Amino acid sequence: MANLLSLTQQFRQLYRKVFPIPCLLCGLPTEEHALCQGCINELPLIKQHCLRCAIPLASGHICGQCLKKPPVQDISLSLYRYEQTVPRMMSALKYHRQVQIADLCAREFIKQHSLNSLPEVLIPIPLHTSRLRQRGYNQSLLFAEKLAALLNISCQPNLLKRIKKTANQTQLNAKQRHKNMRHAFQYLSEFVPEHVAIIDDVMTSGATTHEAARELKRAGVKIIEVWTIARAISHY
C-alpha cells in the first residue's frame, strides 16, 4: 500500500510538471496550488492585529474602536490585508469559480494562526437562496469545509439561515452596511454549541459577522470567533 501511495504521488508530480497549472495572479506555471509560491509569498499577511476585530495593529492587542464599543464576537482572526493582489484573488474565488483558492487559504490560515482552543463547530455565513441560485456556490462554505477537514471540526452550514435578501454591500458605507444586515439571519436548530467560529471570506465593516454573531448569542452560544480570509481596513 505504501508503495502504491508513493507511486501515485510520483505520478501526480510528473503530471503537474508536464501539464502545469497557471498561477491565477501572474500566469506563471504552478505545480501545487492555485497560486505560484512567489505570489503566495507576496500576499500581505496580517501579523499583528486587534484580537476582537482583526484590524492590523502596529502595537497593542485591542484597537481603540473595540475598546470604545466591543464587537459581539470574542475573537477575530484574518489571514490577509484586503489590498495589493488579494482583491483579485478573492474575486476569482467569489465570482469566477476558482474554488481551489479556498483550499490554499485554509492551509495558509492554519499555518499563520496558533489555534489552541478550537471551536466545536464552524458556521459559514450563508447566502440568501436567490443569490445562491445565481452564483451556484457559497465561497464561505467552501473555505469552512476546507478548514473543518484540516482541523477535524464539524462544519454546520444549516444552523444559520439568511432570511433577508440584503442589498449588495459594496457601495454602502459602514452605517448603511449595518442597517442593511439588521435581522438578516435566523438560528434554526435546538442544538446550541458553546463555542463556534463564524467563517466568511472578507470582513470590511464587520456588519455581516456582527449580525450573525448577535443571532448566535441570542440562541445561546457563549464563545464566538470570526475567521476570515481577508480584512479590509478602508472604513477606518
At 2, the pLDDT band (50, 70, 90 cuts) reads very low
Query: How far is residue 148's CA from residue 231's CA, in Å, rounded to a whole number?
Result: 21
Q: Are 21 and 30 in contact (CB under 8 A)?
A: yes
- Higher pLDDT, residue 62 or 8: 62
CATH of 50-231, one of 3.90.1200, 1.10.3470, 3.40.50, 3.30.70: 3.40.50
* pLDDT attached to residue 14: 53
Higher pLDDT, 122 or 12: 122
pLDDT recorded at residue 13: 53
Question: 185 - beta bridge partners?
Answer: 162
Helix ranges (DSSP H) in the chain: 2-18, 37-42, 64-68, 86-95, 100-112, 129-135, 139-151, 174-181, 207-219
For residue range 126-148, what is the model confidence (pLDDT) as tens digits? 999 998 999 999 999 999 999 99
- Identify the CA nearest to 86 among candidates 25, 146, 170: 25
Which amino acid is it at 124? Answer: P
Q: What is the predicted pLDDT for the residue at 105?
A: 97
Residue 227, H or E segment: strand 223-231
Per-domain residue ranges of the chain: 1-42, 50-231
Mean local confidence (pLDDT), 47-67: 92
C-alpha distances (whole Å) from 45 to each of 104, 184, 196 are: 14, 31, 24
What does the pLDDT average to over 29-55?
91
